[in-house]
Amino acid sequence: TCVTGVSGGGKSTFLIETLYKAASRRIMGSREQPAPHERIEGLEFLDKVIDIDQSPIGRTPRSNPATYTGAFTPIRDWFAGLPEAKARGYQPGRFSFNVKGGRCEACQGDGVIKIEMHFLPDVYVTCDVCHGKRYNRETLEVLFKGKSIADVLDMTVEEGVEFFSAVPAVRDKLETLKKVGLGYIHIGQQATTLSGGEAQRIKLAKELSRKATGKTLYILDEPTTGLHFHDVAKLLEVLHELVEQGNTVVVIEHNLEVIKTADWLLDLGPDGGDGGGELVAAGTPEDVVAEPRSYTGQFLKELLERRPGLRKREAAE
């Protein structure tokens, strides 16, 4: 389902302030206070509601895609199971940069040193002891296919999928990141260097790797912002996969390539501010096109007339 309409038309108020907060309050027991509303029907068919926003996955250099998606645990377990690690008596904790033992103590596993700048943003410089590798020399001597754990964290997701092709526990986690179009990011890339769109897709990847219940409501606010059309196509594949598992996905979106593939549209407006907040049209994209008051319908009509037959989601792929 896509929630569309002009800026200030009431999309965020409806979806985030009302639906999300009311659903999370009733289903998840949160203390969110929703906007005034009469009633919401159908929540009994859901067991979870998740707002996948563009907030950072972490605010320190130690947070990264591997730790957030859970891929780092099987990576550490794998290295701890190698003959060299066993001979030295290393446990999985030896390969963690969050605890003492295997990490570089000069930077405490961050790989960088934070320099506090008064009146200016903090500056991070590469640790001159480990040179950004995060681990001490002994830990880096344990190799798998000639690579240390620091080398693995420096690989791109795509390289990691190939490298761990025979280790399903790691490969499958990395595959979900690749599936959402993040094959180019580094496995151990610091969360502070990721964009909002990348953070949002990492969260999507984490959801994909979970066992589906088919009763989850996913809410996304303009997920295609800043994405190349190729990445938009990959994102659409993921969203449709979540729907095919039986879940409900509701997005606020302006991108017509996404809007035209939706099963259902809710067009709010007709204008912004005081002139908004009204349901202008609801139904399939064709239904919205038929509503003369809908600005979304007018642009959608042009697209569908220019490229007939592109209603289906394959069009965006």
pLDDT in tens, 17-52: 999 999 999 999 999 899 999 999 999 999 999 999
Which superfamily is assigned to 65-192 in CATH? Answer: ABC transporter ATPase  like domain (1.20.1580.10)
pLDDT band of residue 316 (cuts 50, 70, 90) is: very low
pLDDT score of 159: 98
In this model, does residue 243 exceed pLDDT 60?
yes
Query: What average pLDDT does the segment 68-91 reach?
Result: 97
In this model, does residue 140 exceed pLDDT 50?
yes
Alpha carbon distance 196, 134 (integer Å) = 25
pLDDT score of 117: 87
Per DSSP, what are the bridge partners of residue 267? Answer: 4, 281
In this model, does residue 259 exceed pLDDT 90?
yes
Cα dist. 159→27, 55, 57, 147, 152 in Å? 40, 27, 22, 12, 9
In this model, does residue 312 exceed pLDDT 60?
no
Assess contact for 49 and 28: CB atoms under 8 A.
Answer: yes
In this model, does residue 317 exceed pLDDT 50?
no
pLDDT score of 274: 84
Q: Which residues belong to CATH 3.40.50.300 in the chain?
A: 2-56+195-316
Burial of 62 (0-12, 13-18, 19+ CB in 10 A): buried
pTM for this predicted structure: 0.84
Half-sphere exposure of 272 (CA within 13 A, CB side): 4
Question: What are the residue ranges of helices labelled H in 81-146?
Answer: 83-88, 137-140
Q: Which residues belong to CATH 1.20.1580.10 in the chain?
A: 65-192
CATH number of 2-56+195-316: 3.40.50.300
Alpha carbon distance 35, 18 (integer Å) = 5
pLDDT score of 308: 59
pLDDT score of 111: 94
Alpha carbon distance 179, 4 (integer Å) = 26
Q: What is the DSSP string of 186-249?
A: BTT--GGGS-HHHHHHHHHHHHHHSPP-S-EEEEEESTTTT--HHHHHHHHHHHHHHHHTT-EE
Q: Quick one: which H or E segment has residue 299?
A: helix 295-306
pLDDT score of 305: 82
* Sheet strands (E) in the chain: 2-5, 48-51, 112-115, 123-126, 216-221, 248-252, 265-269, 278-283
Query: Which range (83-97, 154-168, 224-238, 299-313) has the least confidence?
Result: 299-313
Q: What is the mean pLDDT of the chain?
A: 91
